[in-house]
Amino acid sequence: MPSSPGACMVLVMHMLPRTLLHYFHYGRRGPRIPIDGVSVSSFRVWPTDLDILRHMNNGKYLSIMDIGRFNLMQAAGLIDVFRAEEWYPVVVGQTISYRKSLNPWMKFDIESRILGFDDQAVFIEQRFVRPDAQGSPEVYARAIVRGRILRRSGGVVPVAELIDKTGAGSAEFLVPEDILAWGQATRLPSTRAHAPSLW
């Protein structure tokens, strides 16, 4: 174990310890939400998040989003279902737009919500937010993630089975048409199909 507060700070900057900290400390104490609710995960910009321009590196957003989705699963009670069924989630596509920089030591939240499903996958929206001058949450970046649920024994969990086992009724979810179109347009061939790299 680290022998000083400074060493502890360096440790929590890295992704695996950061994930475990959120799961065991914040996630277990946080409020429960319905499956169509919004989870909120709080972070701070650490020095290891920065790029040469001294703001949070664009790729770091994607890494921290993983923790936000994990917290969403925890808050909505999905982790227990996934463990019982021996499922796990994977990202198959994501897009992010940046509006304002996150600078050193800034506190920020990630708001995460399940948007709904297409025929193969689940869509999640995630927002990086900070209070504006009036104290209301202001969007700094916004991402859409398309993910699939896999079985540890092999294969993809059908969306119908996912909805049935998690109680995610279709009435609570509506994926905007432009996001569904993005999901369709950015699909890659399945892992069993031929996918040559031709320019």
Burial readout 141-158 (b: 16 or more C-beta within 10 A, e: otherwise): bbbbbbbbbeeeeeebbe
pLDDT tens-digit readout, 16-35:
777 777 777 666 777 899 99
What domains sit in the chain, N to C, each tagged with a CATH number?
5-185 (3.10.129.10)
Residue 26 is predicted with a pLDDT of 66
Residue 129 is predicted with a pLDDT of 98
d(CA 74, CA 82): 10
Residue 190 is predicted with a pLDDT of 86
Residue 107 is predicted with a pLDDT of 96
Residue 171 is predicted with a pLDDT of 63
169 by DSSP, 3-state: which? coil
Q: Which residues pair with 40 in a beta bridge?
A: 111
Token reading at 40: 């909120």
Phi, psi (5° rounding) for residue 93?
A: -170, 150
Residue 124 is predicted with a pLDDT of 97
Q: Which residues pair with 111 in a beta bridge?
A: 40, 127
Residue 4 is predicted with a pLDDT of 47
Give the angle 30-24-59 at the CA atoms, nearest 5°: 90
Residue 170 is predicted with a pLDDT of 63
pTM of the model: 0.87
Quickly list H helices, 3-130: 5-13, 15-21, 28-29, 58-75, 78-85
Residue 12 is predicted with a pLDDT of 45
13 by DSSP, 3-state: which? helix
121 by DSSP, 3-state: which? coil
Given a cut of 50, the residues of the chain with pLDDT beneath it are 1-12
